[in-house]
Structure 1
Amino acid sequence: MHHLAPYQAGLWLAEYLNIRCQLCAVYRSTPQSKLSPTQSLLRPSLSDQHSSFTKIIEQFHQRFSSGLLCTSCHNSITWLPKPFEVDITAGRTLTIRAATYYDYPIRQAIRAFKHHEDMTKLPLLLHVLRQLPRPHGCHHDNSVIVAMPTTDERLIKRGFDPVSILAAHLSKHWDIPLWKGVKRIDNTVSQQGLTRAERLSNLDNAFTLSAPAAVKRLILFDDVATTGASLQALARTLSNDPSISSNNKYHLWAYALAHGSQS
């Protein structure tokens, strides 16, 4: 989890020592366990493991964790919009689920983190990320997370890979490892501002596999799924892997931090 090291100290300060809401900075933040029942269940409970040690750790966490958002700000955000589907092969679709919409204040936070490496926005984005329910039946022994890859040119230009950082935190939260068997080989332009047809055309032959995955359950992840074109292209590449027999295809899920806009 070397992705987490440069950012962990700031996250600890935000989540455990800062008692103010990360969004409004007015009200006291609320621990995850005190939020609505739906959201609070999405964070794995250490006490579920039924050992005295983990129960003590859980009690310690509940006592000292102040959370990231106040109840009002948390409830002002629309969580878990309806999933949508995209076609990947004949007779096969990919369901894409997002934690929230790409609206204010999440849109501004994503842009600041993604384009300016503003680490003050990362705690809010991780709060959003934690709303995603882990796919049913997926765990660390039978599944991997595939973060949307970037090109070497973009990585050099930006200086860091925001999607891989978010995916590393999702990996830690779900206890499912990352898999880096897909490379992005295109020199396409940014997807922003393109129509759906232009996005798909822009992503032709954008990905290549370096090796087959050791497991058959692959969870695709991107930061923003506007039309789902990037996740669709990635899923098509995995579905067309010539090293996988037709009766032994990958099982694919797709998740994003944010989807489109509800306006």
Structure 2
Amino acid sequence: MRHLAPYQTGLWLAEYGDIRCQLCRLYRSTPQSQLLQNHSSLILPNNSPSKQSLFIKLRQRFNGRFHSGLLCTRCHHSIVWLPKPFDVDIAAGKALSIQAATYYDYPIRQAIRAFKHHEDMTKLPLLLHVLRQLPRPNGCHYDNSVIVAMPTTEQRLVKRGFDPVSILAAQLSKHWHIPLWHGVQRIDNTVSQQGLTRAERLGNLDNAFALVDTPLVKRLLLFDDVATTGASLQALGRALNGQSKGIAGMNSLTSHQYDISAYALAHGSQT
């Protein structure tokens, strides 16, 4: 993941070096300088195992405060709504639940577009703050789950120069401590989903994904940046569930083999 280094550096600077809210640019409710001072005061001698154990516990507690937010309290409550999950069918009698962190409204809509289409790094800390509001799935951990980022096509990757969903998924993986899985490819013969109706989106995504590997865990956590109708996540869920037509080698998979759920940064509109 070497290509993530510049993004990680920018996020580190925003989180630890900037005491201002990443949206309104006023000071956060808890100044980072105060957190840094508290954090530095926890350094203990290396020759004391018991003290080191205490240090690790205290550091974890204060790290939680470090990562508690990149926005001030007012801005946080103005944009983080955690919409109610919605379901889409991926097989007979099986639905895929999709949970978004917020709605695709101002200012998140503008921030996603700026990052996605213009690689505007200044918007990434705001998106990361919202991303961290997604509830960690119950029972999911490093050994039994993987995050499956919505794959992009080679053509779109060359044109855009980077993969915004992979960048966000890597941050979610770090936040949840659940690894990414890259066993799905997106086929180049589909067009952009923007501006299409739900029926057109579903038709456009028919046979859009091909599996190049087999998941070795039971729980698959799909991720996309925006779930407008859920059609892309639905198609990906169908492919992983073995229900899409034309996916070679999927006949051996049964509908109950994987526990699949989906997550997105933003969904629809609140209005």
TM-score bin, normalised by smaller chain: 0.7 to 0.9
| In the alignment, structure 1 residue 259 sits paired with structure 2 residue 261 | no
Read off the aligned partner of 2:8 and give its amino acid letter. Answer: Q
Return the offset for 1:11.
Answer: 1.1
Is the deviation greater in 4-13 or in 169-178?
A: 4-13
Q: Is the 8 A contact 1:163 1:223 kept in 2?
A: yes
Give the match for residue 187 of structure 1: 189
Q: Is the 8 A contact 2:89 2:95 kept in 1?
A: yes
- The 5 A counterparts of 1:222-233 are 222-233=224-235
The CA distance in 1 between the partners of 2:163 and 2:194, in whole Å, is: 17
Q: Which runs of 5+ in 2 are unaligned?
A: 33-51, 243-248
Return the offset for 1:246.
Answer: 2.5
Read off the aligned partner of 2:148 and give its amino acid letter. Answer: V
Give the match for residue 161 of structure 1: 163
Q: Is the 8 A contact 1:19 1:66 kept in 2?
A: no
Read off the aligned partner of 1:91 and give its amino acid letter. Answer: G
- The 5 A counterparts of 1:116-195 are 116-195=118-197
| In the alignment, structure 1 residue 5 sits paired with structure 2 residue 13 | no
Change (3 A) 1:63 1:153: closer
Give the match for residue 204 of structure 1: 206
Return the offset for 1:20.
Answer: 1.0
Q: Is the 8 A contact 2:105 2:270 kept in 1?
A: yes
Q: Which runs of 5+ in 1 are unaligned?
A: 33-49
Q: Is the 8 A contact 2:101 2:130 kept in 1?
A: yes
Give the match for residue 87 of structure 1: 89
Aligned length, in residue pairs: 246
Flag the structure with larger Rg: 2
The CA distance in 1 between the partners of 2:190 and 2:255, in whole Å, is: 33
Change (3 A) 1:183 1:247: closer
Return the offset for 1:247.
Answer: 6.6
The CA distance in 2 between the partners of 1:221 and 1:62, in whole Å, is: 24
SS in structure 2 of the partner of residue 135 of structure 1:
coil
The CA distance in 1 between the partners of 2:96 and 2:65, in whole Å, is: 41
The CA distance in 1 between the partners of 2:256 and 2:65, in whole Å, is: 47
Return the offset for 1:221.
Answer: 0.2
Aligned mate of 1:249, from 253, 257, 270: 257
Return the offset for 1:146.
Answer: 0.3
Return the offset for 1:27.
Answer: 3.4
Read off the aligned partner of 1:107 and give its amino acid letter. Answer: R
Change (3 A) 1:91 1:159: same
Return the offset for 1:31.
Answer: 7.5
Give the match for residue 22 of structure 1: 22
Q: Is the 8 A contact 1:204 1:233 kept in 2?
A: yes
Aligned mate of 1:104, from 101, 106, 119: 106
Percent pairwise identity: 76
User: Could you list the runs of 4 or more consecutive aligned residues of structure 1 that deviate by over 6 angstroms after TM superposition?
Assistant: 62-66
Read off the aligned partner of 2:11 and give its amino acid letter. Answer: L
Read off the aligned partner of 1:13 and give its amino acid letter. Answer: L
The CA distance in 1 between the partners of 2:258 and 2:187, in whole Å, is: 22
Is the deviation greater in 59-68 or in 249-258?
A: 59-68
Q: With the length of structure 2 as denominator, give the TM-score of the two structures.
A: 0.85
**Cα deviation per residue 1:10-52 (whole Å; 9 max; x = unaligned)?**
11111112111110112335479xxxxxxxxxxxxxxxxx941
The CA distance in 2 between the partners of 1:30 and 1:66, in whole Å, is: 10
Give the match for residue 43 of structure 1: none
Is the deviation greater in 70-79 or in 128-137?
A: 70-79
Give the match for residue 57 of structure 1: 59
Read off the aligned partner of 2:112 and give its amino acid letter. Answer: I
SS in structure 2 of the partner of residue 86 of structure 1:
strand
Return the offset for 1:60.
Answer: 5.1
Read off the aligned partner of 1:70 and give its amino acid letter. Answer: C
Change (3 A) 1:63 1:220: closer
SS in structure 1 of the partner of residue 2 of structure 2:
coil
Return the offset for 1:77.
Answer: 1.4
RMSD value, Cα: 2.2
**Cα deviation per residue 1:107-129 (whole Å; 9 max; x = unaligned)?**
11100000000011000100000
Return the offset for 1:75.
Answer: 1.0
